[in-house]
């Protein structure tokens, strides 16, 4: 009996012993290690890089991404770039008193920059760019007197730049580009040394560093007042179609990027606004000629010009980044859409015609047909097929009840095929550059057709080669596109992913409900993923949602909006995935969001 008892007690005692040893070892980890462990606890997903951080180690000095001072064993560097880390940055990071270098860039961190960072007074470099950080820039950063490099660009930071940062007299590089910052750029201290490229891509900054006069002039600005704040809202119909204008000078070599996150038309209204604009009749009266592709338009030039002269405000069906669209109804009952682009500069004609020739040669079931163009001395008129269903933008945001699950899938499929055709089957390949819901048009059967492909490139300013008008709405643009202004097939794939999310959610990419949280639709998705709630992105008013195809579609969209272009699939692959995983509905397992 006694022996039996002993045998039973042994394992129990052993457990207790092991437990105490463990507790002791956990207790034994240095305070810096403890701070890093709570930093890790706050992270909800990653590529697994942090799994090697073991709580039982005496200090974190051998952990991946961590460097310590060899004598004091205090953490001096935390470098976790590009590891898909998602979650908030724990305020406990402020306990790393001897931290000199913090590199968390190109991850999916969201939430605020912890003000506790202001406690790490030895910090020399902070790199947080390329995340989804939101909220204000903590003024406590002004306490970091050793700071030499601060890069918090490409996040969703809002508010103004705290004047306390002007005290950082050792600061060499400073970058707050591509955020949602507003207000005057402080002019005191080191701030007088920074130039435009530190501030590009913010909605509403002003100050002499960027040559934008502040409204109240407290920033002490200069003459050139191309302030995005002077944006106007001519009709107030569409709300969130901001525009990004990238322009740069080859000689200076500086990239000037001004994000105009404004109501549509702010840029165009000034340039081509009604008050100073010419009428269409004036355009075509002075020696205009019509070029028709493939004899596609069964009319004479004269017929068309006569018709064009009758067009006026009543025939306008929309206004976008490049001009105004009119409905052109011919006498035989055929209807076309006429896009009028006011000529932007000289020396643009030959290039324009060459490009148009290419665009006019592209025919595909899921692309809007360009029928011809009218080359008038004062403007360019493009003649497209008219699509009776209007744009997906209107369909989704003004009459979404007509779009059930099946219709939405079908639209996504059509848009994917159209885009895949441009990327993979055209020669030369065509990057759309402006994928968004207003450029997906619908026919009367709600079949999608991609429109305006190639236009963004066409309307680039040819003379200064790196001057680009990035014609896309803010929320659709891939992070690397915002940073460089360089479009690739993969930047289109990103925009397509955003489009899928828009179709699923019924919300515009920069819907106020996302902006309130300091996010856009991709940031919101990333947040939902980390909570494993991504299905919640679906529009509750969408009928007939089918869970399996939803999951498959979400997985495609998630890949498309990946922050690094290499992780995004090609459009070819997207079409394959949609066909094999999404469009093969499984008749069981219906999920009706309206029931229960
Ligand atoms: N071929 C067409 N058929 C029917 N409606 C059209 C056609 N083309 C354009 N539209 C309508 O005109 C509106 C304005 O189009 P437009 O292309 O000028 O602007 P946008 O698509 O919002 O922006 P962008 O200039 O970047 O393309 C569209 O939203 C759509 O409703
Ligand atoms: C930061 O410093 C303040 C004041 O010195 C202190 O109250 C706070 O606890 C510190 N926070 C962290 C995370 O160390
Ligand atoms: C840090 O900065 C904040 C705000 O800028 C200030 O109130 C605080 O006194 C500073 N703390 C130290 C220790 O300098
Ligand atoms: C601006 O930069 C110059 C050299 O690049 C430096 O000497 C000067 O101190 C800086 N000005 C401020 C206010 O930091
Ligand atoms: C700031 O970052 C942007 C990209 O977000 C880049 O285009 C710009 O050149 C950077 N500016 C400086 C001064 O490093
Ligand atoms: Mg368009």
596 residues of the chain, pLDDT tens digit each: 344 444 445 455 455 545 554 554 445 789 999 999 999 998 877 888 999 999 999 999 999 999 999 999 999 999 999 888 888 899 999 999 999 999 999 888 878 899 999 999 999 999 999 888 888 999 999 999 999 999 999 888 888 999 999 889 999 999 998 887 889 999 888 888 898 889 987 767 899 888 888 876 544 433 333 333 323 333 322 222 222 333 222 222 222 222 323 233 333 333 333 333 456 766 766 666 667 765 567 888 788 888 888 888 899 998 877 778 999 999 999 999 999 887 655 555 666 777 788 888 899 999 999 998 887 777 788 999 999 999 999 999 998 888 999 999 999 999 999 999 999 999 888 999 889 999 999 999 999 999 998 877 776 543 322 223 333 366 888 877 765 667 899 999 999 999 999 999 999 887 878 766 656 788 888 878 877 899 999 999 899 999 999 999 999 999 999 888 899 999 999 999 999 999 875 554 445 444 44
User: Which pLDDT score, from 0 to 100, does residue 506 have?
Assistant: 95
Distance between CA 244 and CA 256 in Å, rounded?
11
Three-class SS of residue 182? strand
User: Which tokens sit at 144?
Assistant: 């970091």
- Which tokens hold the place of 4? 């039996």
For residue 428, cis peptide bond before it (omega within 30 degrees of 0)? yes
Q: Which residues participate in the annotated binding site for ATP?
A: 343
Question: Residue 318's beta-bridge partner residues?
Answer: 325
Q: What angle do CA 316, 317, 319 make, to 5 degrees?
A: 85
How many other C-beta atoms can be found within 10 angstroms of the C-beta atom of residue 250? Answer: 11
Query: Does the annotation mark 434 as catalytic?
Result: yes
Q: Which tokens go with 583?
A: 């469009």
Distance CA 112, CA 517 (A): 10
Cα(89) to ligand 1 centroid in Å equals 42
Q: Round to whole Å and give the CA distance between 359 and 503.
A: 27
Other CB atoms within 10 Å distance of the CB of residue 574: 28
- Distance between CA atoms of 292 and 300, rounded to whole angstroms? 9
Q: Which residues line ligand 1 (CB under 6 A)?
A: 317-322, 325, 337, 339, 368, 384-387, 390-391, 393-394, 434, 438-439, 441, 451-452, 471
Q: What distances in angstroms separate CA 346 from CA 245, 322, 349, 352, one per listed residue?
A: 20, 17, 7, 11
DSSP β-ladder status, 324-329 and 316-319: antiparallel
Nearest ligand, CA 121: 3
- Domain span(s) for CATH 3.30.200.20 in the chain: 281-385
Can you list the alpha helix ranges (DSSP code H) found in 399-454?
405-420
How far, in Å, is the centroid of ligand 1 from the Cα of 317?
8
The reported pLDDT for the residue numbered 69 is 95
Residues forming CATH 3.80.10.10 domain(s) in the chain? 26-210
Count of other CB atoms within 10 angstroms of residue 369: 18
What distance in angstroms lies between residue 158's CA and the mean position of ligand 3's atoms?
A: 21
Q: Whose CA is nearest to atom 16 of ligand 1?
A: 320
pTM: 0.56
The three-state secondary structure class of 250 is: coil
Closest to 298 measured CA to CA, from 259, 331, 258: 331
Atom index in ligand 1 nearest the CA of residue 387 equals 3
**Phi, psi angles (nearest 5°) of residue 172:** -100, -50
Q: Which fold has domain 26-210?
A: 3.80.10
Question: Which ligand 4 atom is nearest residue 171's CA?
Answer: 14
Q: How far is the CA of 158 from the centre of ligand 4 (A)?
A: 27
Q: What angle do CA 554, 558, 562 make, to 5 degrees?
A: 170
Q: Which residues hold their Cβ within 5 A of ligand 6, which is an ion?
A: 320, 439, 452
195 in contact with ligand 4, CB cutoff 6 A:
no
Are residues 570 and 416 in contact, defined by beta-carbon separation less than 8 angstroms?
no
Residue nearest to atom 18 of ligand 1 (CA): 320
Ligand 3 pocket residues where CB is under 6 Å: 118, 139-140, 142-143, 164
| Atom 20 of ligand 1, residue of closest alpha carbon | 320
Nearest CA to ligand 2 atom 14: 95
532 three-class SS: coil
CA-closest residue to ligand 3 atom 2: 140
Query: 175 CA to middle of ligand 4, Å?
Result: 16
Distance 319 CA to ligand 1 centre (A): 7
Assess contact for 230 and 241: CB atoms under 8 A.
Answer: no
For every residue of 361-405, DSSP letters joined together read H---TTBPPEEEEEE-SSEEEEEEE--TT-BHHHHHHH-GGG--H
Is the C-beta atom of 128 inside 6 A of ligand 5?
no
Distance CA 400, CA 540 (A): 11
Cross-strand bridge partners of residue 449: 441
Tokens of 466: 């790196």
What is the distance between the alpha carbons of residues 20 and 18, in angstroms, rounded to a whole number? Answer: 5
CATH of domain 281-385: 3.30.200.20
Closest Cα to atom 11, ligand 4: which residue?
Answer: 190
Distances (CA, A) of 144 to 80, 81, 127, 194, 261: 21, 22, 14, 18, 32
Edge-first strand order for the sheet with 101-103 is 66-68, 75-79, 101-103, 125-127, 149-151, 173-175
Ligand 4 near 189 CB (within 6 A): yes
Per-residue pLDDT, 503: 97
Q: Which fold has domain 396-582?
A: Transferase(Phosphotransferase); domain 1 (1.10.510)
Which ligand gives the minimal distance to the CA of 142?
Answer: 3
In this structure, the residue with its CA closest to atom 12 of ligand 3 is 143
Check residue 294 and give its pLDDT: 56
Q: How many residues does the chain have?
A: 596
CB atoms within 10 A of CB 431: 20
Instruction: Look at residue 426 and give its three-state secondary structure.
Output: coil
> Whose structure tokens read 């605020």?
112
Residue limits of CATH 1.10.510.10 in the chain? 396-582
Mutate to test the pocket of ligand 4, among 190, 194, 209 (most ligand atoms within 8 A of CB): 190
Cα–chain center distance at 458 = 22
Work out whether strand 289-292 and strand 370-375 pair parallel, antiparallel, or are unpaired.
antiparallel
CA of 542 to the centre of ligand 6 (A): 25
Q: Which of 434, 492, 511, 539 is catalytic?
A: 434
CB 181 within 8 A of CB 205: yes
């Amino acid at each position: 009996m006694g022996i039996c008892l002993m045998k039973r007690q042994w394992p129990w005692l052993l457990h207790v012993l092991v437990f105490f040893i463990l507790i002791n070892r956990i207790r034994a980890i240095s305070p810096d290690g403890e701070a890093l462990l709570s930093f890790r606890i706050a992270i909800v997903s990653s590529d697994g890089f942090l799994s090697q951080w073991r709580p039982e180690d005496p200090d974190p000095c051998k952990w991946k991404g961590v460097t310590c001072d060899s004598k004091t064993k205090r953490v001096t560097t935390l470098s976790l770039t590009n590891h898909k880390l998602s979650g908030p940055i724990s305020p406990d990071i402020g306990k790393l008193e001897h931290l000199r270098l913090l590199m968390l860039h190109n991850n999916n961190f969201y939430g605020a920059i912890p003000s506790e960072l202001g406690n790490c007074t030895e910090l020399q470099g902070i790199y947080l760019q390329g995340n989804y950080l939101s909220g204000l820039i903590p003024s406590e950063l002004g306490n970091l007197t050793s700071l030499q490099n601060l890069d918090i660009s490409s996040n969703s930071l809002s508010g103004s730049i705290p004047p306390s940062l002007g005290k950082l007299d050792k600061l060499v590089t400073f970058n707050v580009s591509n955020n949602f910052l507003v207000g005057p750029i402080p002019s005191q201290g080191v701030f007088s040394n920074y130039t435009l490229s530190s501030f590009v891509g913010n909605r509403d900054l002003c100050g002499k560093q960027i040559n934008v006069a502040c409204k109240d002039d407290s920033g002490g600005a200069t003459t050139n007042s191309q302030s995005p704040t002077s944006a106007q809202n001519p009709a107030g119909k569409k709300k969130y179609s901001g525009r990004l204008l990238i322009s740069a000078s080859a000689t200076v070599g500086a990239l000037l990027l001004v994000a105009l996150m404004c109501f549509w038309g702010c840029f165009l209204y000034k340039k081509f606004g009604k008050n100073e604009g010419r009428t269409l009749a004036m355009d075509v009266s002075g020696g205009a000629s019509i070029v028709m592709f493939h004899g596609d338009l069964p009319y004479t030039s004269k017929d068309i010009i006569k018709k064009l002269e009758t067009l006026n405000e009543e025939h306008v069906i929309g206004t976008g980044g490049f001009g105004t669209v009119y409905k052109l109804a011919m006498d035989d009952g055929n209807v076309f859409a006429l896009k009028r682009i006011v000529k932007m500069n000289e020396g643009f004609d030959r290039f324009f015609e060459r490009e148009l020739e290419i665009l006019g040669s592209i025919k595909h079931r899921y692309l809007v047909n360009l029928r011809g163009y009218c080359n008038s001395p004062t403007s360019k008129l493009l003649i497209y097929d008219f699509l009776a269903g209007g744009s997906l933008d209107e369909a989704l945001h003004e009459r979404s009840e007509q779009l059930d699950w099946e219709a939405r899938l079908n639209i996504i499929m059509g848009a994917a095929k159209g885009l895949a055709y441009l990327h993979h089957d055209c020669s030369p390949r065509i990057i759309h550059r402006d994928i968004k819901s207003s450029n997906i048009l619908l026919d009367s059967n709600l079949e999608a057709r991609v429109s305006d492909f190639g236009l963004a490139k066409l309307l680039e300013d040819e003379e200064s080669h790196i001057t680009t008008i990035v014609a896309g709405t803010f929320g659709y643009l891939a992070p690397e596109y915002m940073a460089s202004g360089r479009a690739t097939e993969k930047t289109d794939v990103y925009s397509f992913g955003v489009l899928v999310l828009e179709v699923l959610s019924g919300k515009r990419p920069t819907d106020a409900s996302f902006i309130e949280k300091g996010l856009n639709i991709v940031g919101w998705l990333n947040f939902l993923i980390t909570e494993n709630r991504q299905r919640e992105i679906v529009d509750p008013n969408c009928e007939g949602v089918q869970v399996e195809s939803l999951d498959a579609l979400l997985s495609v969209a998630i890949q498309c909006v990946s922050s690094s272009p290499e992780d995004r699939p090609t459009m070819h692959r997207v079409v394959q995935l949609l066909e094999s995983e999404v469009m093969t509905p499984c008749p069981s397992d219906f999920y009706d969001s309206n029931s229960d």
